[in-house]
Amino acid sequence: MQTIIGRLTANATIKELKDGRKVVTFTIAQNDRFKVKGSDEVQQLTNFYNCSYWISTGIASHLKKVCW
């Protein structure tokens, strides 16, 4: 298991597979900022992580995108 800290890109969704199992899917965006070596220029890199949660679908109601 890996810990990812970031922001939800959309509300989580529940998908049902052909065999009847359900999975919660969501995407997390993580921004990294860094300076290029030998420069004062700051670069920003955004990584997107597609996640699946298989234990319980109840978590989906807690995974909501918050708009400020």
Go through the domains of the chain in sequence order and give each one's CATH number. 7-62 (2.40.50.140)
What percent of the chain shows pLDDT beyond 70? Answer: 99
Contact 24, 60 (CB under 8 A): yes
Mean pLDDT of 51-65: 93
Task: Please choose, from the candidates 68, 60, 66, the residue with its C-alpha nearest in 3D space to the C-alpha of residue 26.
Answer: 60
pTM, whole model, 2 decimals?
0.80
pLDDT tens, residue by residue, 16-36: 999 999 999 999 999 999 988
pLDDT over 80 at 44, yes or no:
yes
What pLDDT is recorded for position 61? 92
